[in-house]
Amino acid sequence: MANSPSGESVIHRVVRILSAFGEQSPALGLRELSRLIDLPVSTVYRLVSELEIEGLLVRDASGQLRHGHRLWELASRGSRASSLREAALPSMEDLINHGLNHVSLGVLEGNDVLYIERLAADDATVNITKIAGRLPVHGCSAGLVFMAYAQDAVQEMFLSRRLEKLTEDTVTEPERLRAILAEIRGRGYVSMQGIIVPESSGISVPIFTEKNHAVATLSAIVPRGAESLNLIVPHLKIASSAITRRLGYEPSGREIQRRSTPATF
């Protein structure tokens, strides 16, 4: 009973506190929060008070705790996610305006794909990706693209993990995956049917900066069976090049060179 008998750092505790707020619980009382993250009330009280001073947490009208706008601001200012999003949004809108129902933008984060942006025409096919949501690399078309362009060691690391089946059609056998990855590098896109939810298919292309280094992926989600690849794939590839250019790099079939004035990304 002293300065953290658990040996836990303040930083870790703060992350736990901030992580407690999410879609299911955007607002929490002190006690509720303390129960959720299993820390003494007085400890949570002290940390929360400090976070309030910093503006990372605020209290709403009813006294419930919420994330403060300051947290969003802090994260948005320096983040690659935001610059990526801004660079990609116009092209993504164009795709929606030209017939695609669902497009999303993902980055690689650990063993998951983190979705940075998602646009949908109102009619909406089934699509479980959410902004700031995650899917395991082997379980989504975007993830397979990241695997395909990853360094060999990283790729092997992904393949050696225990891979969970999200549906009947999720590919989990390392050998079959290896074949798929080789094909992705050859063709420059992937189309997977029903690997997340049975009703939908995902088509993804990489977004490059340096040659063959995928910083992000652009994906279209279409109803299963309605994949007109000869139309969609070129659209996605062109959009991907446009995004590369907006990020301050020069896209090209063979070479990707830095421009004289590269963006901060």
Written as one letter, the residue type at 9 is S
Q: Which among DNA, its own copies, none contacts residue 264 (Cβ within 5 to 8 A by kind)?
A: its own copies
Stretch binding DNA (CB under 7 A), from 35-43, 81-89, 182-190, 206-214: 35-43
Helix (H) / strand (E) element for 179: namely: helix 174-187
Does the protein bind DNA through residue 225 (CB under 7 A)? no
Residue 75: how many other CB atoms lie within 10 Å: 11
In the bound state with its own copies, the residue whose beta carbon lies nearer, of 133 and 198, is 133
Does the protein bind DNA through residue 212 (CB under 7 A)? no
What letter does residue 252 receive in the DSSP assignment? -
Helix (H, G, I), strand (E, B) or coil at 63: coil
In the bound state with its own copies, the residue whose beta carbon lies nearer, of 39 and 81, is 81
Does the protein bind DNA through residue 253 (CB under 7 A)? no
Exposure string for 35-66, b = 16+ CB within 10 A, e = fewer: ebeebeeeebeebbeebeeeebbeeeeeebbe
Residues 6+ apart with CB under 8 A from 204: 106, 140, 141, 142, 144, 145, 189, 190, 217, 218, 219, 220, 236
**Tokens linked to 239:** 């959009």
Which of 17, 47, 116, 220 contacts DNA by CB under 7 A?
47
In the bound state with its own copies, the residue whose beta carbon lies nearer, of 93 and 173, is 93
Question: Rule CB under 8 A: which residues touch its own copies?
Answer: 9-12, 14-15, 18-19, 21-23, 25-26, 47, 50-51, 53-56, 66-83, 86, 93, 107, 109-110, 114, 116, 131-132, 134, 264-265
Q: Which among DNA, its own copies, none contacts residue 76 (Cβ within 5 to 8 A by kind)?
A: its own copies
**Tokens linked to 227:** 């994949």
Q: How many residues bind DNA (CB under 7 A)?
A: 27
In the bound state with DNA, the residue whose beta carbon lies nearer, of 9 and 79, is 9
Instruction: Please list every residue from 63 through 122 that binds DNA, using CB under 7 A.
Output: 63-64
The CA-atom distances, in angstroms, between 143 and each of 136, 196, 217 are: 7, 11, 8
Q: Which residues bind DNA (CB under 7 A)?
A: 1-11, 13, 29-32, 39-43, 45-47, 50, 63-64
